[in-house]
Structure 1
Amino acid sequence: MSGTEQKVALVTGAARGIGLATAQLMAEDGWRIALLDRDEPALKEAAANFKGEAISLLHDVSDPQAAPQAIRETLNAFGRIDALVNNAGVADFGPIEETDFTRWRTVMETNLDGVFLMSQAAIPALKETKGAIVNIASISGLRASTLRVAYGTSKAAVIQLTRQQAAELGEYGIRANAVCPGPVRTKLAMAVHTQDIIDAYHDAIPLNRYGSEREIGEVVAFLCGPKASYVTGQIIAADGGFESTGVGLPALRAT
């Protein structure tokens, strides 16, 4: 595949976790990757160890000026964009009465506004390639749970935004889908999940385990690629069956 034909993906929140795993998987499949993150040390480390053709974009998706600049930088480097993976996100868990407006806005600015801004900026380039948008939502956007008033609401909004994108952009050949990860064995999750929480999740998940970053990345990569060419407007829970079993983990309750 020549350089002009080789597909290009822009992945936000790509310095670690699901974003980095997705970028690595897509690079293995021959994609060129634009790695975007606001954490400069982590981004440099990820880029230094990245196996595949890639560029680094140091931006914060919550900044309205960042999205058009990131798109320009990607087009300047690669000449095209075939997929946008909106993975960047922040987690802030706490009881409703302790979630003040500052905490609420901090979550919304990245988790929702960032997805909107990046997608809007990428539309002209995606029209040219009949490309794909994959938004990373969460199982917390599909059903309510404790301590997630801002996070869960932001991810539910991302799900609705995805459907809007699919409905309005389909006529241009642009597909939009969302992936909703369940509990994933990330370094962050393992650092904050007590053994009681881990055991409770295992009890509630039919597959009886956490997912891996790479397993989520496989779903994202599929949705970006040609094998999903007739898939749009879909909300896919990559959660080991967690959504099918209901909610209510005692270990996650505040009292």
Structure 2
Amino acid sequence: MAELTGKVVLITGAARGIGAGLAQALAKRGCRLVLLDVDGAPLQELAASLGECAVGIVADVTDLGSVQAAVDQGVERFGGIDIVVANAGIASYGSVLQVDPATFRRVIDINVNGVFHTVRAALPSVIERRGYVLVVSSLAAFAAAPGLAAYNASKAGVEHFGNALRLEVAHHGVDVGTAHMSWIDTPLVQDAKDDLGAFNDMLAALPGPLGRTTSLAKCIDAFVAGIAGRKRRIYVPRWVAVMHGLRVLLASKAGDQATLQKAPAMLEKMDAEVAALGRSTSARNTAVDNARS
């Protein structure tokens, strides 16, 4: 993957999970890294571990000014940005009737507006360098799950944002990809498993590979290969590509049947668990938001 050597890569949501793993992998391939996250302590620890090839910048993707300042700092440090990975994202728990409205809005703000702000701020430099943008979507963009409506909506939204962006910037020599993952062993999935018995019940009830969790290492390998190849789509695991092809069936009445049988009991249990927790997202997200306020 010599084509990655020397490239400057901007990654949001870089402090943990996919963002941190990708930063470590790309550093080994000779990339220079502009790492953004709202959670400063783990971000700076990661950047320090990577040495001179990385800079960690605390930034809130819901604030365009904050992201623009971070991008400007990255451009000043490394001369420009070749690759953008819009990765920052969170999830909420609970049915539409019971989820905390403020948490629902927060998911949309980070997962959708955060992608827009990231791309908007970095795009002039990416165009100048005829670079690549990767928008991190999900299998959830075309296979909805009850109790995760905000996450489903946000990931469908950013997939189409990526599709529109691709049409806008192709004549500049910029390529745009979207990443679609099933369950990956990241803090987002780990927190949901720890918080909600209903989430674990849902995974256990899903047919075939749909309920399996893929290792972070396999996800990172797929991302690195996709970025190096400037891929239009990255699927993790590869069978997610089949689900993408079946998206019309998945959204049909026939496709809903298996989920409809289990949804009432699962949602009742999830809403009860969310009420007992006193929050509609992970404690990790709540702690970060409290620290910022």
Normalised by the shorter chain, which TM-score bucket?
Answer: 0.7 to 0.9
How far apart, CA to CA, are the structure 1 residues paired with 2:49 and 2:28?
14
In the aligned structure 2, how far is the partner of 1:52 from the partner of 1:223?
A: 25
Letter in 2 for 1:201: L
Equivalence for 1:87: 87
- Residue by residue over 1:70-93, the C-alpha shift from the partner in whole angstroms, topping out at 9 and shown as x without a partner, is 110111110021100000111112
Task: Give unpaired runs (5+ residues) of structure 2.
Answer: 251-257, 269-293
1:216 Cα offset (Å): 1.9
CA 52–23 in structure 1, closer or farther in 2 if over 3 Å, else same: farther
Tell me by how many angstroms 1:145 deviates: 1.0
Indicate the percent of aligned positions where both proteins have the same amino acid: 28
Specify which of 217, 220, 237 is matched with residue 235 of structure 2: 237
Q: Deviations over 1:144-184 (max 9, x none)?
A: 11111111101100000000011110000111111111111
Structure 1 residues 95 and 68: CA distance shift in structure 2, 3 A: same
1:206–1:47 Cα change, 3 Å: same
Per-residue deviation at 1:9?
A: 0.2
| Partner of residue 211, structure 1 | 214
Count of residues in correspondence between the two structures: 246
CA distance in 1, matches of 2:151, 2:198: 22
Q: SS where residue 55 of structure 2 aligns?
A: strand
**CA distance in 2 between partners of 1:185 and 1:14 (Å):** 15
Alpha-carbon distance in structure 1 between the residues aligned to 2:209 and 2:238: 6
Deviates more, 1:199-208 or 1:77-86: 199-208
**Residue identity in the other structure for 2:96:** I
Alignment of 1:177-196 (within 5 A): 177-193=177-193
Q: For 1:214 and 1:195, how far apart are their aligned partners in 2?
A: 26
User: In structure 2, how many angstroms separate the alpha carbons of the residues matched to 1:197 and 1:103?
Assistant: 18
SS of match in other structure, 2:121: helix
Match of 1:201 among 203, 214, 227: 203
Q: Which amino acid in structure 1 is aligned with residue 218 of structure 2?
A: E
Give me the TM-score of the superposition, normalised by structure 1: 0.86
Q: Which runs of 5+ in 1 are unaligned?
A: none
Give the direction of change, closer, same or farther, for the CA distance of 1:206–1:188 in structure 2 (3 Å limit): closer
Q: 1:98 to 1:239 in 2, by over 3 A?
A: farther
2:226 counterpart of 1:223: yes
Paired residue for 2:61? 61
Say what the alpha-carbon RMSD is for the aligned residues.
2.6
Bigger mean CA offset, 191-200 vs 68-77: 191-200
TM superposition score normalised by structure 2: 0.76
